Amino acid sequence: MKAFVVERYGDKTAPHASEVPDPHVGAEDVLVQVHAASVNPLDYKIRDGEFKAILPYRVPFVLGNDMAGVVVEVGEAVTRFQVGDEVYARPGKDRIGTFAEFIALHQDDVAFKPATLTMEEAASLPLVALTAWQALVERAQVQPGQKVLVHAGSGGVGTIAIQLAKQLGATVATTTSKANIGLVKSLGADIVVDYRQQAFETFLHDYDLVLDPLGGKHVEKSLQVVRPGGEVIGIAGPPDADFARELGANPVIRLAMSALSLRTRRRARRRNVTYSFLFMRASGDQLREIATLVDAGKIRPVVDRVFPFESTPQALAYSEDRRAKAGKVVIGMT
């Protein structure tokens, strides 16, 4: 089959088109013909080797972290799906490779595609929607009346997190550029900070939760707007020891991860708030919950542009150069 492959870490021109063997279909796997995939910052971070110490993919490997398509084969122990089902998924971290004509996925990582969406729209959702769900629902357990700040509200995670937080009953603030103020308000944002004109840390206060997909200075500034007992969840870093432990990393890696976030965690403790790092995991069960919200009109995907499959490297470059105006960059197979 045709796929887009990383042949060596750090190759900024990757992925490259290549012919690779068809996937092996295990007893609990479904083989999916990919109709669309989407681009995430995780893709170029993996390509560049940023996660090599904890996610050591053996080169060459197929890149890509979420998709939508049609089941064309099922393993002998599969009970949830059958040939012809339209599905969407984020593969488990050990089984990435959605920039390909086919991918084999464990049935537990797969869900039926939202019926109201096109394949391209559905493919834009799994990684970012699971990230938002695991931060807001699973970890923070956001309750009605709470105040949530979502940074980068016009980005992939931000566009979904705003909508999900509103469904949970929160008052939602977000940061974005002037050009996207109308978009984030249409998604449900109650308070919008133009990051080019206002310093959010001087404008916002007493928030229960901050979700930060940007990392760096935004994390430490976010600690200033959270109430005592509140929480900052970072998805761009710095990582922490709990994350390394979840991955089953060795003690040396766990110590290194802990050191990376030590300064941030100390500052958080001084303010009586919590900082934690989230690296989302695959979950078909959560994707089913998300699909219900989508089909009920409670959450809608935001797609910036769809590239043809043969232009996968250009799609990655377009996303990495931050040329997308809002939402996700998608790769369509047809």
Q: 135-155: per-residue pLDDT in tens? A: 999 999 999 999 999 999 999
Encode pLDDT of 110-127 as tens digits.
Answer: 999 999 999 999 999 999
Strand 86-89, strand 67-74: pairing: antiparallel
Report pLDDT for 24. 96
Tell me the mean pLDDT in the region 77-101: 97
- Return the beta strands (E) in the chain as ranges: 2-6, 16-19, 29-39, 61-62, 67-74, 86-89, 102-106, 110-112, 147-150, 171-176, 191-194, 207-212, 226-234, 274-277, 303-308, 328-332
pLDDT higher than threshold 80 for residue 249: no
Report pLDDT for 261. 81
Average of per-residue pLDDT values in the chain = 94
Q: 34 — phi, psi (to 5°)?
A: -75, 125
Contacts of 170 (CB under 8 A, 6+ apart): 142, 143, 144, 145, 146, 147, 148, 208, 209
Contacts of 32 (CB under 8 A, 6+ apart): 67, 69, 70, 71, 72, 87, 89, 102, 103, 104, 105, 110
pLDDT category of residue 255 using cuts at 50, 70 and 90: confident
> What domains are defined for the chain?
2-125+301-332 (3.90.180.10), 128-277 (3.40.50.720)
pLDDT higher than threshold 90 for residue 248: no
Instruction: Judge whether 146 and 322 are in contact, CB under 8 Å.
Output: no
Tell me the pTM. 0.96
Q: What percent of the chain has pLDDT over 90?
A: 84
- More reliable by pLDDT, 255 or 114: 114
- Return the CA Rg of the chain: 19
Give the span between the Cα atoms of 199 and 203, in whole angstroms.
7
Tell me the mean pLDDT in the region 171-180: 97
Instruction: Judge whether 257 and 243 are in contact, CB under 8 Å.
Output: yes
pLDDT higher than threshold 90 for residue 250: no
State whether the Cα torsion 324-163-206-274 is positive or negative: negative
Encode pLDDT of 198-239 as tens digits.
Answer: 999 998 999 999 999 998 888 999 999 999 999 999 998 888
Instruction: Judge whether 329 and 311 are in contact, CB under 8 Å.
Output: no
3-state helix, strand, coil in the chain (%, to 5): 35, 25, 40
CA distances for 257 relative to 34, 42, 239, 249, angstroms: 35, 18, 6, 10
Instruction: Judge whether 222 and 151 are in contact, CB under 8 Å.
Output: yes
| C-alpha closest to that of 147 among 203, 58, 226, 261 | 226
> What residue has token string 């050591």?
56
Give the Cα-Cα-Cα angle 333, 285, 283 (nearest 5 degrees): 65
Give the span between the Cα atoms of 181 and 189, in whole angstroms.
9
- Beta partners for residue 104, in sequence order: 31
pLDDT category of residue 291 using cuts at 50, 70 and 90: very high
